[in-house]
Structure 1
């Protein structure tokens, strides 16, 4: 299980814009927000990512880089990027189930129109040194933290120099 104050697993993903994104190459002022979402099949993910798009400037203002990642294929991820209102969110795809497990994500077996296996949601704040600061992992599509709560938390963290918690 991944814990706060530990080095984040290396993360390298392809983006729908044809580039490669690496966590180790990120140099945000304060944090990188790594958001794992279930995939195009998930209407809750669509709502979450479209809300993130609306609040992207608020994260940028706080020195937070953002990326959203799924286990979807390139074709599905590109269709997601076109169909959803998420034009400015770097969208990564093709993370392996093995790599998703390194982040402590729950893995589900698909039902109905879902992929055979996919990662359930996870939200991570990672420091510029690739140290895990904040972890929120779900085993279901429901109950994700609101971005307003996350933004409020970041404000408090930065104002109070609040340490990462959950490390013991």
Structure 2
């Protein structure tokens, strides 16, 4: 598990627009929000990402770059991007289970129509120098932080110059 104030693992991921996204290439004004989601099979993920799409400008206005990532295959991720209302969210795919474990994400074995293995949700705010500032990791699809809470937290962090917590 990565603690706040520690360097995030290097992250390089293919996007559905046929480009490659690299964490170390990001230069946000304040943060990069990395949202790991379970995959196309997850209706809670669909709701979460569609909510993120609606609030994307609010993150951009706060100097926050956003990306959403799953372990789905290219074909499944491209179908997700096409079918869900998330056209402006950079969508990464083929995130390996090994890399997910480096990030401290929970891994589940598929049931019913799910992939054999996939990541459970995680939300990370990463500073411009690629250190972890805030992380929220779930072992279930439920109980994810709401984006209004995240935006409110970012507002407070920026106003109060609040340090990352949880490092001890």
TM-score (norm 1): 1.00
Deviations 1:83-131 (A, max 9, x none): 0000000000001000000000000000000000000000000000000
**Cα RMSD between the aligned structures?**
0.2
Task: State whether structure 2 residue 96 is matched by structure 1 residue 96.
Answer: yes
- Tell me, in whole angstroms, the C-alpha distance in 1 between the residues paired with 2:139 and 2:82: 27
Q: Which runs of 5+ in 2 are unaligned?
A: none
Query: In the TM superposition, what are the counterparts of 1:46-65 in structure 2 within 5 Å?
Result: 46-65=46-65
- 1:154 Cα shift? 0.0
Report the number of matched residues: 168
**Runs of 4+, deviation exceeding 6 Å:** none
> Which residue is equivalent to 1:66?
66
Q: Secondary structure at the match of 2:165?
A: coil
Q: Does 1:18 align with 2:18?
A: yes
What SS does structure 2 have at the residue aligned with 1:134? Answer: strand
Report the secondary structure of 1:60's partner residue.
helix
* Deviation per residue, 1:61-102 (Å, 9 max, x gap): 000000000000000000000000000000000010000000
Could you tell me which residue of structure 2 aligns to residue 41 of structure 1?
41
Name structure 1 gaps, 5 residues minimum. none
Partner Cα separation in structure 2 for residue 25 and residue 104 of structure 1: 22
Q: Secondary structure at the match of 1:125?
A: strand
Q: Write out aligned runs for 1:1-168 (5 A).
A: 1-168=1-168
In structure 2, what is the Cα distance between the partners aligned to 1:22 and 1:121?
20
User: Could you say what secondary structure the match of 1:157 adopts?
Assistant: helix
Structure 2: how far apart are the matches of 1:8 and 1:45? 23
User: C-alpha deviations, 1:7-30, integer Å up to 9, x for none?
Assistant: 000000000000000000000000
1:48, distance to aligned residue in structure 2 (A):
0.0
TM-score normalised according to structure 2 size: 1.00
